[in-house]
Chain A
Amino acid sequence: MATTVMIVDDSLFMRKMLRDILTEEGYEITAEASDGDEAVARYRECRPDLVTLDIVMPNKTGIEALQIIMALNPQARVVMCSAIGQESMTEAAAKAGAKAFILKPFNPELVARTLREVAEG
Chain B
Amino acid sequence: MDMSQYKSLFLSESREYLKTIADQVVALEQAPAERSAVDALFRGAHSLKGMAASMEYGDVVVVAHSMEDLMARVRDGALCFEAGVADLLLEGVDLIDVMLADVEADRECTPPPGDFAERLRGYTPAPPKKQAPAGEPPAEHPAPQAQPGGEPEKAKEPAGEASGTVRVKTELLDHLINLTGELVTNKHRLLNVAQEVASPALNDAVSETGKLLRALHDEVMKVRLMPFEAICDRFQRSVRSLAKKSGKEINFELSGREIGMDRGMLEQLVDPLNHILRNAVDHGMEESAERAAQGKPPRGTVKLSVSRDRDRISIQVSDDGRGMEPQKMIEAAVAKGVITPEEGALLSPRQALMLSCIPGFSTAKVVTDISGRGVGMDAVNAAIQKLGGTLVIESEPGQGSTFTLRLPMTIAIIHALVVQCGNVKGAVPVTGVLRTVELARHQIETMGKRQMFQLDGEAIPLLSLNRVLGLPLGRFPNGILPLFVTEAKGRRVGIVVDRFLGQHELFVKPFGRPLCKMAGLAGGATLGDGEIVTILDLAGLL
Indicate if the CB atoms of B13 and A105 lie closer than 8 Å.
Answer: no
- A44 adjacent to chain B (CB < 8 Å): no
| B39 lies within 8 A of chain A by Cβ | yes
In A22-65, the 8 Å CB interface with B consists of 34-35, 56-59
The answer, among A59, A104, A108, for a CB contact under 8 Å with B50, is A104
Docked complex Cα distance between A108 and B1 (Å): 7
In angstroms, Cα B53 to Cα A34, docked, is 20
A107 to B478, CA, bound (A): 88
Chain A residues within CB distance 8 Å of chain B: 10-14, 16-17, 21, 34-35, 56-59, 83, 104-106, 108
Nearest Cβ distance between residue B56 and chain A, in whole angstroms?
Answer: 8
- B399 / chain A contacts, CB cutoff of 8 Å: none
Q: Within 8 Å CB of A59, what residues of B? A: 152, 154
Please report the C-alpha to C-alpha distance between residue A21 and residue B1 in the assembled complex, in whole angstroms: 9
Q: Is the CB of B9 within 8 A of A10?
A: no
Chain A hits for B157, CB < 8 A: 10, 34-35, 58
Q: Which residue of B43, B47, B53, B154 has the most chain A CB atoms within 10 A of its CB atom?
A: B47
Q: Please, how many angstroms separate the alpha-carbon atoms of A10 and B13 in the complex?
A: 11
Q: Ordered nearest first, which 3 A-B pairs have the shortest CB separation?
A: A105-B54, A105-B53, A12-B160
**30 interchain pairs, CB-CB under 8 A:** A10-B43, A10-B47, A12-B9, A12-B158, A12-B160, A12-B161, A13-B9, A13-B13, A13-B54, A14-B47, A14-B51, A14-B54, A16-B9, A56-B46, A57-B43, A58-B39, A58-B40, A58-B43, A58-B154, A58-B155, A58-B157, A59-B152, A59-B154, A83-B46, A83-B50, A83-B53, A104-B50, A104-B53, A105-B56, A108-B1
Measured between beta carbons, the chain A residues less than 8 angstroms from B47 are 10-11, 14, 56
Q: How far is the CA of A34 from the CA of B152 in the complex (A)?
A: 17
Tell me the nearest residue of chain A to B16, going by C-beta: A12
In the complex, chain A residues whose CB is within 8 Å of the CB of B56: 105
How many interface residues does B have (CB within 8 Å)? Answer: 24
Which listed residue (A10, A17, A57, A83) contacts B6, Cβ 8 A? A17
> Does B49 make an interface contact (CB < 8 A)?
yes
Q: For B152, list chain A residues within 8 Å (CB).
A: 59
A-chain residues with CB within 8 Å of residue B484 when the two chains form the complex: none
**CB nearest neighbor in A for B61:** A105
Q: CB within 8 Å of A: which of B1-57? A: 1, 6, 9-10, 13, 39-40, 42-43, 46-47, 49-51, 53-54, 56
Whether B6 and A16, one on each chain, are in contact in the complex, defined by CB atoms closer than 8 angstroms, is yes
Given A12-B13, A21-B1, A56-B46, A106-B54 contact (CB < 8 Å): yes
Contacts A59-B154, A108-B1 known; A14 to B160 CB distance under 8 Å? no
Given the complex, which residues of B lie within 8 Å of A35, measured CB to CB? Answer: 157
Contact indicator B39/A13 (Cβ below 8 Å) = no
Within 8 A of A (CB), among B349-382: none
CB neighbours (8 Å) of B51 from chain A are 11, 13-14
Measured between alpha carbons, how far is A27 from B315 in the docked complex, in Å?
A: 52
Q: Do B155 and A14 touch (CB < 8 A)?
A: no
Scoring B43, B46, B158 by chain A CB atoms within 10 A of each residue's CB, the highest score goes to B46
Bound complex: CA A112 to CA B155 (Å): 34
In the assembled complex, which residues on chain B have CB atoms less than 8 Å from the CB atom of A12? 9, 13, 158, 160-161
Chain B residues contacting A58 (CB-CB under 8 Å) are 39-40, 43, 154-155, 157
Minimum Cβ distance to chain B for residue A76 (Å): 24
Chain B, Cβ-Cβ closest to A16: B9
B154 surroundings in chain A (CB, below 8 A): 58-59
Given B10, B40, B46, B49, which contacts A13 in the complex, CB threshold below 8 Å?
B10
- The answer for the CA separation of A91 and B482 in the assembled complex, in Å, is 84
Q: How far is the CA of A11 from the CA of B42 in the complex (A)?
A: 14
Roughly how many angstroms separate A11 CA and B161 CA in the complex, as a whole number?
10
Residue in chain B with minimal CB distance to A34? B160
